[in-house]
Every structure is written in C-alpha cells, then in structure tokens.
C-alpha cells in the first residue's frame, strides 16, 4: 500500500510541476531582423532587393542577390590599387564590414540607394540571362537626413537565372558618370 501511495504521489508531483510533456516546444525568437526580401522572379526584383538590403543592412539578403560566380569591376578609383575588381568572397567580406559599420552607428547615419533606368538603354532579358543598366545614387545621411556623402555613377548588371527560376547578379560593373563625383566602387573600396 505504501508503495502505491508513493508512486501516486510522485506521479502527481511530476504532472503538477511539468508542462505537457507531449506538446511541442516554443521556438526561439530570431537573432536578427530578416529584413525585406522579395522572391527574385525577375531581374528588376533583384535590384529592388539590392536597394532594400543596403537600406536595411541585411547581409543575408545581399548574399541571396549574388550568383556564386559573382564578379565586381570598376573603371578606376582615386589613388587606389592597380586592380580593377574582385570576386564573390571579397564582395561579401567588404559588404559585411560596411553593413556592420553602419549598423553600429545606425542611430547616427543611414545608407540609401536609388536606381534610375537609363534612357536609350532598355533592359535586355533573354531566356536565362539579363543585362540592366542604371544610373545610381548612394547617399550616406546623418540622423537628421542631411547628406554627408554621395556616390554616383552608372552600373551595368549582368544577371543569370538559376534552375529554380530565381535571378541573381553574376557581374556588376561600376562606371563614373562624372569624374568629380566618387562612384559606388570608392565607397566599397574603403571597406576592403
């Protein structure tokens, strides 16, 4: 009899102290904001994702916008190395440094990108490749919205469509539109 009472007491104690042992567990909250990412079913959406990941500083969304064989090239940099570009790994490293730097000072400054279609430069979209040419402005602004730095130029994106029908940037060529105004490559190069 004592043994039965002891077992019942243990069972009551365990069931009164524990949650339902058969229920599913609560998931952990995300460690970082996911940002805005639109499924890149067209080349134009890739540019919107690029714009969004720069303003939201989300490196994961930036990575999804690039093809694994990605190449960045530029026309020239003021007083920089003799190279003319870099590849996928270097692009990820420098962009992550840039995003981390801006994230650390997010209350003090922001990063904003604007793309404008070039007149006379229509988008060329074939079965699984595309070429888009845009003029751009990259703005670094302080917390009051005043522009502290501005970068302008023309960019040529070569894109590729994956077997899952999603588009990504294969090649990014940055060109100065005005020799007196720094290009996006100069902002990127500061984080190499």
Q: What is the pLDDT of residues 36-86, one digit of tens each?
A: 999 999 999 999 999 999 999 999 999 999 999 999 999 887 665 667 899
pLDDT band at 158 (very low <50, low <70, confident <90, very high): very high
pLDDT at 78: 67
17 found inside a domain: no
pLDDT at 50: 97
CATH number of the domain to which 85 belongs: 3.10.450.50
Q: Is the pLDDT of residue 94 over 60?
A: yes
Q: What is the pLDDT of residues 24-36, one digit of tens each?
A: 666 555 555 578 9
Structural domain tally of the chain? 1
pLDDT at 59: 96
Q: Which domain holds residue 149?
A: 37-189
64 found inside a domain: yes
7 found inside a domain: no
11 found inside a domain: no
4 found inside a domain: no
53 found inside a domain: yes
Give the long-range contacts of residues 138-147, CB within 8 A, separation 24 or more: 138/54, 138/111, 138/112, 138/113, 138/184, 138/187, 139/111, 139/112, 139/113, 139/114, 140/109, 140/110, 140/111, 140/187, 141/109, 141/110, 141/112, 142/108, 142/109, 143/107, 143/108, 143/109, 143/110
Query: Going along the chain, which residue ranges are E strands?
Result: 66-74, 85-87, 109-117, 124-125, 129-142, 147-161, 167-175
Q: What is the pLDDT of residues 96-136, one digit of tens each?
A: 999 999 998 888 889 999 999 999 999 999 999 999 999 99
Residue 186, C-beta contacts closer than 8 angstroms, at least 6 positions apart: 77, 78, 80, 151
28 found inside a domain: no
32 found inside a domain: no
pLDDT at 107: 83
Report pTM: 0.80
Average pLDDT along the chain? 87
């Amino acid at each position: 009899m004592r043994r039965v009472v002891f077992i019942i007491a243990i069972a009551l104690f365990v069931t009164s102290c524990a949650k339902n042992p058969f229920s599913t567990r609560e998931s952990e909250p995300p460690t970082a904001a996911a940002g805005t990412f639109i499924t890149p079913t067209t080349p134009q959406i890739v540019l919107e994702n690029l714009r969004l990941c720069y303003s939201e500083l989300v490196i994961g969304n930036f990575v999804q916008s690039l093809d694994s064989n990605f190449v960045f090239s530029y026309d020239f940099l003021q007083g920089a190395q003799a190279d003319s570009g870099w590849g996928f790994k270097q692009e990820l490293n420098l962009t992550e440094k840039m995003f981390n730097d801006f994230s650390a000072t997010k209350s003090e400054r922001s990063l904003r990108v604007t793309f404008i279609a070039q007149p006379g430069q229509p988008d060329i979209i074939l079965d699984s490749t595309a070429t888009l040419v845009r003029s751009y402005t990259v703005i670094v602004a302080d917390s009051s919205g005043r522009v502290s730095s501005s970068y302008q130029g023309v960019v040529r994106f070569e894109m590729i469509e994956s077997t899952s029908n999603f588009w990504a940037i294969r090649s990014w060529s940055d060109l100065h539109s005005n020799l007196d105004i720094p290009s996006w490559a100069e902002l990127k190069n500061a984080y190499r």
